[in-house]
Structure 1
Amino acid sequence: MARAPVFTAAKQAEQLREDGNFFFAKNRFSAAIDAYTEAITLCPNVPIYWTNRALCHRKRNDWTRVEEDCRKAIELDNHSVKAHYMLGLALLQKQDYKEGVKELEKALDLGRGMNPKGYMVEEIWQELAKAKYLEWEHESSQRSWDLQTLKMACEEALREKHAIDDSNAEETIDESAVAHAKQLEALERVFEKAAEDDTPSEVPDHLCCKITLDLFRDPVIAPSGFTYERAVILDHLQKVGKFDPITHEPLRPSQLVPNFAIKEAVRAYLEKHGWAYRLD
């Protein structure tokens, strides 16, 4: 007899979840939140109730509550892709780029482990790329400001030095001016070099898919030697024909092999350039 109420509560909570799903599909987010909240009250240890409610808060741009619900869901299940994903988005909203990126990377790793070809993996990858860009942009702006401040201080120090030198009878004013100009030029070169890593660059052609011209995510190499994005070439083989789109040689999906070298090159490029490549 003692176990019956537990079973009833669990069953009732599941019904409330289904009600919440129905309201969510109708864009009735307040009603959905109420239903999920009741389910949580009955069974607070079910992660999906928390992530479902977090999704409603996300739809309403209530990012503080998204963060709260996702953290609770992660406490209950550290392998929840949706919880890490939405927590990452919530952290980005309050400009905590470092932690936001970390959560999105966790979500991507979990998503790839569970369903590498799932739609969420692509969505998370896109958001992670944007987040990495925002993180790079934020840090780059700070570094640029620091460099500019340091450069101005160095220029002022040089002016003061040559102002003192100008009063030295052994050195003419012309000689001092020439030396000052040369030092300013050298200073300019030093700071230009220091700023290079914070300057976005064009992505090398060999890191982009020949079909989409977009940066590789999951590159595979065909017998022809050409590398393609896996999802794109598989779509080509299914809808257009079983042949290499560049050489037109016969090609089957089983002949495609992961190109780990290119994948690593993409990773290295993005790490070096701070993911300074925006995905629209």
Structure 2
Amino acid sequence: MSSLAAKQAEILRQDGNTCFKKDRFAAAIEAYTEAITLCPNVPVYWTNRALCHLKRNDWKRVEEDCRRAVELDHHSVKGHYMLGLALLQRKVYAEGVKKLEKALDLGRGANPNGYMVEEIWQELATARYLTWEHEATERSWNLQNLREACVAALKQKQFLDTSDTEGFVDENGKSNLDQLEGLACVFDKAAENDTPTELPDYLCCKITLDIFRDPVITPCGITYERAVILEHLLKVGKFDPITREPLYAYQLVPNLAIKEAVRAYLEKHGWAYKTE
């Protein structure tokens, strides 16, 4: 790649950025495409063009450009992030979640308090819920089919009459109705983890009311989301927002117990919790 080509490509990138800011996405795509033609191994040209495609809801091209971007730069936060979004649009949930998780890890490493970390987290939470919902629907369908098959087999075995409440009593003294009720309890229990639940209060920040990502505990024993309490200390004052006791950033300690509790809860429930 010659220095002249590199300079021309950078000028084209800047032109593309200008067009993008004016919502002239077609013109921006054209500029980024020319930059790519001159310097195809610069990942930012690919992610910039992918963002334009995203604005136009052209998810196929978003995926194509982002795959190329992450090939060129395995640490591209935007590349992994937009690739994850594109995969979710195709309902490729498992791979989409992995790409968003990668983007979140890279984003936290580069700038833990950056705006993209929060944005990626929200998209990841949504993606995981969609994954759970998709899998839960499939499991529920299979469970219902199995339930119906078991009920039919039990009826056939015990020769239930048309009332569905009378019939034989087995060697353990259980009637057909008892067996059917027991079967229903088994299947109801199996379906419990596929029912969305409200998040427990102790897993949520008292300021944002959202689930903890990076919980820290104060000397007063109250746990907050790190970024939120740091912003409070910076913009509002050096005091605990609940107890009003003096509080400084150096006094905040990671609450590893709550962090592990959050991880365990989300793992158990498959992110099957209700969100706004």
TM-score by length of 2: 0.94
Please give the residue correspondences for 1:82-161 in structure 2 after superposition, counting only pairs within 5 Å.
82-161=78-157
For the Cα contact (< 8 Å) 1:101–1:128, is it kept in 2?
A: yes
Matched, 1:244 2:240: yes
The residue that corresponds to 1:78 in the other structure is 74
- Letter of the 2:32 counterpart: Y
User: Which range moves more in the overlay, 202-211 or 119-128?
Assistant: 202-211
Q: Assess if the C-alpha contact under 8 Å between 1:64 and 1:90 holds in 2.
A: yes
- Among 15, 34, 54, the residue aligned to 2:11: 15
Distance 1:98 1:187 in 2: 33
2:57 alignment partner in structure 1:
61
**Helix, strand or coil: the match of 1:220?**
strand
The Cα of 1:174 is off from its aligned counterpart by 5.1
- Summarize the alignment of residues 120-269 of structure 1 with structure 2, pairs less than 5 Å apart: 120-163=116-159, 175-176=168-169, 179-269=175-265
Between the two proteins, the alignment pairs up a number of residues equal to: 269
Distance 1:66 1:138 in 2: 23
- 4+ aligned runs moved over 6 Å, structure 1: none
CA offsets, 1:63-115, max 9 Å, x none? 00000000001111111000000000000000000000000000001111111
The equivalent of 2:32 in structure 1 is 36
Output the amino acid matched with 1:91.
Answer: L
Which 10-residue stretch deviates more, 241-250 or 146-155?
Answer: 241-250
Q: Secondary structure at the match of 2:17?
A: helix
- Report the 3-state secondary structure (helix = DSSP H, G, I; strand = E; otherwise coil) of the residue aligned with 1:58: helix
Mapped partners of 1:279, 1:205: distance in 2? 14
Q: Deviations 1:114-145 (Å, cap 9, x if unpaired)?
A: 11111101100000000000000000000000
Contact in 2 for aligned 1:129/1:278 (Cα 8 Å): no
Confirm or deny: 8 A CA contact 2:204 2:211 kept in the other structure: yes
Between 1:11-20 and 1:214-223, the stretch displaced more is: 214-223
TM-score by length of 1: 0.92
2:205/2:225 contact within 8 Å kept: yes
Q: Give the secondary structure class of the aligned counterpart of 1:277.
A: coil
5+ unaligned residues in a row in structure 2: which ranges? none
Q: CA RMSD in A?
A: 1.6
Farther off after superposition, 238-247 or 16-25: 238-247
Q: What letter is aligned with 1:8?
A: L
CA positional deviation for 1:278 = 4.2
Equivalent AA in structure 1 for residue 46 of structure 2:
W
Secondary structure of 2:91's aligned partner: coil
Taking the aligned partners of 2:226 and 2:110, their CA distance within structure 1 comes to 18
- Residues 103, 120 of structure 2: 8 Å contact kept: yes
Q: Assess if the C-alpha contact under 8 Å between 2:198 and 2:274 holds in 1.
A: no
Kindly state the Cα deviation for residue 149 of structure 1 after the two structures are TM-superposed.
Answer: 0.2
Checking the alignment, whether the CA contact within 8 Å between 2:86 and 2:96 is kept in structure 1 is yes
Gaps of 5+ in 1: 167-172
Sequence identity, in percent? 72
